[in-house]
Chains A and B, each alone.
Chain A
Amino acid sequence: MSGHGLLATFETEAALVEAARAVDSAGHAIVDAYAPYSIEGWPALAHAEASRVGWACLSGGVLGAVGGLTLQAWTSAVSWPLDIGGKPVLAWLAFIPVAFELMVLGAAAGAGLSFLILSRLRPRWRQPGLRDTWPHDRFVLEVAAAGKCDSKLPIRCCARWVRW
């Protein structure tokens, strides 16, 4: 991404939320914010889109369950059906536990992987973005700005124009 933006650092969560509200009502776009912990109600405040993790979780679960049933039915009844004492080869009831576990596995993998992919998290030698100001004890607000010096932004806290 290229362009101009503003990083403002705050000492408390309350100050960050207050500034974000002011920036938002003044009509400026909030790019993101960085904090040592999750802030309740932030997505609504920053007009963030709904997360797609839930859908990935559901798809993974469906895939796991259907795949699990198919695997069991195919191996037991198609690939090599074994007649053991006249027992049915398609023993649906006995397939439930494995299908259930594979559903849970698929759903968890869907949720976990989609979270990592959507958040662009992967192992890297050099930490990107706000590496040096990683907010382990402070709160940072990132606001999109039109030019180098947009003096109309309603933030009077410590701030510096950055280019990224």
Chain B
Amino acid sequence: MSMATDPPARMPEASASSEQGALTRAMTDLGGAALGRPLRGWWACFAVAVLALAVGVVAVTYQLRTGIGTWGLNRSVGWAYDITNFVFWIGVGHAGTLISAILLLFRQRWRAGVSRAAETMTIIAIVCAAIFPVIHLGRPWLMLWVLPLPNSRGPLWVNFSSPLTWDVFAILTYFVVSLLFWYLGLLPDFASLSHAATGWRRRVFGLLSLGWNGSLRTWARYERTCLLLAGLATALVISVHSVVSFDFAASLVPGWHTTIFPPYFVVGAIFSGMAMVLALLVVMRRAMALQSYVTLQQLDAMCKIMLATSGLLGLAYLIETMTALYGNHGPDRFMLMLRMQGPLAAYYWAMIACNVLVPQLLWSGRVRRNRPLVFAIALLALAGMWLERFLIIVGSLQRDFLPSGWVDYLPTRIEVATLVGSFGLFLVCFLLFCRWLPVVSIAESRAGHRTRLRVADR
């Protein structure tokens, strides 16, 4: 194998050196974190995250050894904290798919700087979500029973008419497609990193790059594959959370049995996911000096998506109220009054404030450019969306059709610790990602620089 590294016989054109500089700079800026030492403060953040994860591991271990009675679940509120957390985390994941797939199809160039972080967040969020139903099974070692696998129990198959079974398929598909999309996006970057690295990192990144050599034939096929996967992932953004909402909407419980749930859940998911991406990026941008890749314009665009979805969410809350009042269906109206005035009223109004009122601040450009304020609004939105799921699940189950089954629900310490643990898991994974992988796509930022050069040439 020979090399073609002789000095050029003639310099092609004047802009060559600046283009070369940009290509190399993308590598040093973005690959640096993966190839060098961890950033200052990384270990401190990692320690906190590991501590939170440890709390969760202890709680789950205790629960598995003792039994699911360690949770505050009871006969009518069988789905409290864990399904709330499950719906919350699945929702958070949706923004990553929206950014990576839908915005790719709409040729929104600003997504290039944020798509990698958002896609990674999606995958980690799906993992965080998936642990909850598995723990909730009570006997997680039997979790393969949710799949239609040949077995010696009849064979007894899963019930394909149950939305819970649909959920299994929706989430598995979502995870596999997201992972595939994410890995394909990383391929060229793995090759670049392998080229720049030494020692064992060169080997590992080389293995992960699958022998990517930058062939333009491969690049053409690659772009086509990414476009196809983007189209498929778009279908998933809409379908996955719709299927999750069927868990509720297909039942007869007041407050759940409503046709607005699928769009309402999808919009809420995108809202909470955007909030999570914004919260992460505001911190990452500062800590990892990504100002030239994650620009204020991109944060601004994400704030606007949050504002739009917040408006849609407000509309959904309004329609829910309207249907309950206009429909003249006793239990529905009772449920509405219970939410607004009952024991969970404080949660309801906090949710309205976090999801509908506070995001209205984002109409102002000055607020959208104020990063600490955006960070605070995003955290409030996350809290609000968590409360929404809690209200839907616990609110309706606390007051079933039979007044004899009315109970109040309070989470136990084990449940709270499990929620803390899921945040720990999320942060541990995300910090490892920041440490070992390029947080902004190197290949895409190079291509992005090319378009800027062309504009400058004109």
Contacts and interface: CB of A to CB of B under 8 A. Distances in A.
Nearest to A123: B207
Contact of B450 (A7, A13, A116): A13
Given A98-B166, A119-B218, A34 B213 contact: yes
A94 B415 CA distance: 33
Interface in A98-129: 98, 100-102, 104-105, 107-109, 111-112, 115-116, 118-125, 127-129
A130 interface: yes
Interface string A133-145: 1111110100000
Given A11-B19, A51-B221, A53-B228, A159 B4 contact: yes
Contacts of B173: 101-102, 104-105, 108
B219 A35 contact: yes
Contacts of A71: 148
Nearest to B192: A136
A109 B8 CA distance: 43
A57 B232 CA distance: 10
Contacts of A10: 12
Interface stretch (B119-127, B235-243, B291-299, B393-401): B235-243
Nearest to A18: B12
B212 interface: yes
Contacts of B196: 136
Given A15-B16, A32-B217, A159-B6, A115 B177 contact: no
A48 interface: yes
B19 A12 contact: yes
B10 interface: yes
A42 B161 contact: no
A120 B261 CA distance: 45
Contact of B214 (A35, A80, A108, A112): A35
Interface in B120-153: 148
Contacts of A135: 214
Contacts, number: 247
A136 B220 CA distance: 17
B215 interface: yes
Interface in B297-343: none
B175 to A, nearest CB: 10
Nearest to A76: B160
A80 B155 contact: yes
Interface string B212-234: 11111111111111001100100
A115 B447 CA distance: 21
Interface stretch (B20-28, B344-352, B419-427, B430-438): B20-28
Contact of B221 (A79, A115, A158): A115
B1 A108 contact: no
B229 A108 contact: yes
B191 A137 contact: no
Contacts of B172: 101, 105
A8 B218 CA distance: 19
Nearest to B242: A97
A16 to B, nearest CB: 9
A72 interface: yes
Nearest to B202: A127
Contacts of B184: 112, 115
B304 to A, nearest CB: 28
Interface in A16-41: 32-39
Interface string A153-164: 000111111111
B9 interface: yes
B39 to A, nearest CB: 23
22 contacts: A10-B12, A12-B13, A14-B13, A32-B215, A32-B217, A33-B216, A43-B220, A54-B224, A75-B148, A79-B157, A94-B161, A115-B184, A115-B222, A121-B218, A123-B207, A124-B210, A128-B211, A131-B213, A135-B214, A137-B23, A138-B23, A157-B9
Interface of B: 1-13, 15-17, 19-20, 23-24, 27, 148, 154-158, 160-161, 163, 165-166, 169-170, 172-173, 176-177, 180, 184, 187-188, 191-192, 194-196, 203, 206-225, 228-229, 232, 235-236, 239, 243, 246, 443-444, 446-447, 450
